[in-house]
């Protein structure tokens, strides 16, 4: 079932989500929620979706960067972003335990800020401790675009949006991003807009 995606201004997006207990994760209802969130994310389409974005203030997010999303991105941009496909998975009660001091800046969008994008600095690599979709402990080491996705979704679980971290002068509509910035190297765009 496709779920309604909350948009900026809805209070649930600004609340710190509560951790989930083992018995909640094991329930049929919770497993259906994971399936519904996956369907909603893929239908949008997006590469991540946190439970607060569908109106539930719990520490759950689904992530998947599908191969088909990469096919129209030039190879040089994929390399610059260190972006490659990421298989579907679930993160529950995640904590970033290590984040590199080195940061990269790229445009980010969000299903809860439909139609907009901005340059956001993020750590180039992270180590995340969490539970998987069955409640089993998991450690994720991620770099590049995958690290960015994890940070973005974990921000949602803490009541934060990318607009809290963005380079303010780079905030743009997706139409203007496509028109002016899509094919330019990120450094040139960032320097021009500062």
pLDDT, tens digit, for every residue of 18-33?
999 999 999 999 999 9
In 3D space, the residue among 154, 123, 137 whose CA is nearest the CA of residue 61 turns out to be 154
**For position 130, what pLDDT does the model report?**
98
Helix residue ranges, H only, the chain:
22-26, 28-43, 67-70, 75-81, 144-157, 174-176, 186-193
Residue 13 has pLDDT above 90, yes or no: yes
Distance CA 75, CA 101 (A): 26
The domain ranges of the chain are 11-193
Question: Is the domain defined by 11-193 classed in CATH 3.40.50.1370?
Answer: no
CA distance 91 to 134: 10
Q: How far apart are CA 117 and CA 173, in angstroms?
A: 6
pLDDT tens, position by position, 67-117: 999 999 999 999 999 999 999 999 999 999 988 999 999 999 999 999 999
CA distance 23 to 21: 6
pLDDT digits (tens, 9 = 90+) for 118-163: 999 999 999 999 999 999 999 999 999 999 999 999 999 999 999 9
Q: Which residues are catalytic?
A: 153
């Amino acid at each position: 079932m496709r779920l309604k995606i909350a948009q900026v201004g809805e209070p649930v997006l600004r609340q710190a989500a509560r951790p989930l207990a083992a018995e909640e994760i094991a329930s049929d209802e919770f497993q259906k929620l994971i399936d519904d969130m996956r369907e909603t994310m893929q239908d949008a389409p997006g590469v991540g979706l946190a439970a607060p974005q569908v109106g539930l203030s719990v520490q759950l997010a689904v992530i998947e960067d599908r191969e088909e999303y990469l096919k129209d991105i030039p190879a040089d941009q994929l390399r610059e972003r260190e972006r490659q496909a990421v298989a579907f998975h679930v993160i529950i009660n995640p904590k970033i335990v290590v984040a590199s001091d080195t940061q990269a800046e790229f445009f980010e969008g969000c299903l809860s800020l439909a139609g907009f994008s901005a340059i956001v600095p993020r750590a180039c690599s992270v180590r995340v401790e969490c539970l998987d979709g069955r409640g089993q402990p998991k450690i994720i080491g991620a770099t590049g675009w995958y690290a960015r996705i994890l940070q973005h979704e974990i921000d949602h679980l803490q009541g934060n949006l990318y607009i809290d971290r963005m380079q303010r002068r780079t905030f743009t509509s997706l139409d203007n991003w496509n028109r002016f910035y899509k094919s330019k190297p990120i450094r040139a765009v960032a320097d021009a807009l500062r």
